[in-house]
Amino acid sequence: MLLSEPLKSSTRAGPLPLVDGALLAAVLLLVAWGALAFGAVYPWAYTPLFWTAALVGVATYWRARAINSRSPSALIVLALLTLVALAALGQTVPLPDRVRLRLSPATESFLRQVDVGYAAAVTARDQGLTTGAPVAPRPLSLNPASTTRGVLMLGSLLLLLTGLIRFFGQVGLVRLTAWAIGLGVLLAVIGIVQKALLGDHAFAGMKIYGFWEPRYKLTTPFGPYVNRNHYAGWMVMALPLAIGYLLALTDSWLRRGRRGWRDRLLALSSPEGARIQLVAFAIVLMGSALALTMSRSGIACFVLASLLAAVVGTRGARSFLARAGLSAALLVLVAAAFAWADVDVAKRFTSGGQSIELRRQAWTDAAAIIRDFPLVGTGLNTYGTATLTYKTARTDLHFQEAHNDYLQLAAEGGLLLGIPALLAVVFCVRAIRRRFVEDAQRPASYWLRFGASMGLLAIALQSIVEFSLQLPGNAVFFVVLLAAALHRTPPDPRSDR
């Protein structure tokens, strides 16, 4: 591809083998399907997505099985995530009443309120009646079917992550990053055109792609997504990846031995300079689409990631002028994106008190669940079930998500899932830091990893007020970025260009 030409030497020389190319294309198609199929929120979309993710994970691991890219820290992360999945599976195991009530006494009150059969059986038992149905053992999960579904999805993502960590150590990140930027441009064009032609109000008759009617009319769709905040979640992962790619191209361009800014500016007319301009335009286009969503969380995370890239991305510059020039260029790209979108961002951030209040109420409900289920939680993927009775803040609405992924994990998993999940985050950060140290003398690999890591940080910040990662399509993209950040760059005798 045009975008990947100048950085080929940072991974492997020459074209990819057919099998590697096919597997890399399968990874991109997974990400594309997850985004273009409405975020894969419907069963017909997420069922094939997760089955295919598992198959791709197994295939990529088998393909790269000969690569000596084992990382103890990455293995610890995978082991801890596996422990989270096993603990969630344990929430579905029926337990004797004595054990269940000792671990999670609040399940009894919930079951008596929502399960008529269970309430009748317990009442008959307590009154010493022998005609009632026996009380069957119940699991810790308030909705075992939902928890089982969540465990299966988590398992498929774990297989994908395990395979991609090793596979990226064989094929590198250049081609995948270039293709992901292309997909981001496609999503941006769809969102911009659709907003211009169809609007963004579902209650006014707006249909996604011109034919798909969202189930809930109170949402504000954008692009293929039913909710604009979830579209913004995909973009805040993709935009830092594109910025990292731009920094890799710029670093290569600055190391060409040209003297003076005049020669470097003239070099922008070369094929290498054209690639830099092409990626810069892609960033502006994707940023404009993000701005048009008017998602406060998405815009804020994009700006923070861009500022961080401007600070960290210029540390390697050899002079103050070079650092100032690179920082100014990145900030100009961000400003150009918002200027092109022509939206009143300030007004958006100073309004919307009702939206903030709704989130505060959802967090209040989550806090109430955490207090009652501190040890083992309500069961993975059961927050919507728990809030059938936990309407402590508002009784006229049913919150199916906590609008904060960390609070929701604490409510659904308690300490049982929360401790290994927290340890996984800690070891993940340590592993990524080590990979940065290893890539210190390999600029292209360093900057591509930097872009993936910034994408992870941006979506982690958005998850404080949103639940974008609960969309299967966004979750798959997150796993791809996580594998890109964790993979170990294979030794290569050639230096980066």
pLDDT tens, position by position, 231-261? 999 999 999 999 999 988 888 777 765 556 6
User: Is residue 153 in a domain?
Assistant: yes
Neighbours of 321 (CB within 10 A): 10
Q: Which residue has the higher pLDDT, 4 or 444?
A: 444
pLDDT reported for residue 497: 41
Q: Which residue has the higher pLDDT, 349 or 43?
A: 43
User: Is residue 237 in a domain?
Assistant: yes
User: Which of 329, 389, 348, 338 lies closest to 365 in space, CA to CA?
Assistant: 389
- The C-alpha atoms of residue 409 and residue 406 are separated, in whole angstroms, by 5
- The C-alpha atoms of residue 357 and residue 353 are separated, in whole angstroms, by 6
DSSP 86-144: HHHHHTTS-B-HHHHHHH-THHHHHHHHH-HHHHHHHHHHHTT-SSSPP---B-SSSSH
Phi, psi angle pair for 135, to nearest 5°: -85, 115
pLDDT, tens only, 448-488: 999 999 999 999 999 999 999 999 999 999 999 999 999 98
Residues belonging to the chain: 497
User: Is residue 407 in a domain?
Assistant: yes
pLDDT, tens only, 422-434: 999 999 999 999 9
User: Is residue 481 in a domain?
Assistant: yes
Is the CB of residue 322 less than 8 Å from the CB of residue 337?
no
- Compute the average pLDDT of residues 222-227: 94
In the predicted structure, residue 200 carries a pLDDT above the cut 90: no
User: Is residue 331 in a domain?
Assistant: yes
Q: How confident is the model at residue 189 (pLDDT cuts 50, 70, 90)?
A: very high
pLDDT reported for residue 356: 83
C-alpha neighbours within 13 Å on the C-beta side of residue 486: 31
pLDDT reported for residue 9: 41
pLDDT, tens only, 137-151: 899 999 999 999 999
Q: How confident is the model at residue 314 (pLDDT cuts 50, 70, 90)?
A: low
pLDDT reported for residue 321: 63
Q: How confident is the model at residue 104 (pLDDT cuts 50, 70, 90)?
A: very high
Please enumerate in sequence order all residues whose Cβ is within 8 A of that of 156, keeping only pairs 6 or more positions apart, or say none: 50, 51, 53, 54, 57
DSSP helix/strand/coil, 222: strand
In the predicted structure, residue 269 carries a pLDDT above the cut 80: no
Is the CB of residue 280 less than 8 Å from the CB of residue 337?
no
Which class for 213: exposed (0-12), middle (13-18), buried (19 or more C-beta within 10 A)? Answer: exposed
In the predicted structure, residue 394 carries a pLDDT above the cut 70: no
In the predicted structure, residue 317 carries a pLDDT above the cut 70: no
- Calculate the average pLDDT of the chain: 87
pLDDT reported for residue 180: 96
- The C-alpha atoms of residue 318 and residue 287 are separated, in whole angstroms, by 29
User: Is residue 392 in a domain?
Assistant: no
Is the CB of residue 184 less than 8 Å from the CB of residue 282?
yes
In the predicted structure, residue 124 carries a pLDDT above the cut 70: yes
User: Is residue 98 in a domain?
Assistant: no
pLDDT reported for residue 329: 80
Q: How confident is the model at residue 2 (pLDDT cuts 50, 70, 90)?
A: very low
Q: Which residue has the higher pLDDT, 442 or 424?
A: 424
- Compute the average pLDDT of residues 181-193: 97
Measured over the CA atoms of residue 178, residue 154, residue 483 and residue 238, the dihedral's sign is positive
What tokens were used for 406? Answer: 């960390």
pLDDT, tens only, 165-177: 999 988 989 999 9
- The C-alpha atoms of residue 388 and residue 365 are separated, in whole angstroms, by 11
In the predicted structure, residue 318 carries a pLDDT above the cut 90: no
Chain centre distance of CA 204 = 30
> What pTM was estimated for this model as a whole?
0.92
Domain encompassing residue 211: 5-92+146-355+399-486
3-state helix, strand, coil in the chain (%, to 5): 70, 0, 30
pLDDT reported for residue 316: 57
In the predicted structure, residue 263 carries a pLDDT above the cut 80: no
- The C-alpha atoms of residue 85 and residue 107 are separated, in whole angstroms, by 21
In the predicted structure, residue 101 carries a pLDDT above the cut 70: yes
Is the CB of residue 168 less than 8 Å from the CB of residue 56?
no
Helix ranges restricted to H, 270-343: 271-293, 296-312, 320-341
User: Is residue 74 in a domain?
Assistant: yes
In the predicted structure, residue 12 carries a pLDDT above the cut 50: no
**The total number of structural domains that make up the chain:** 1
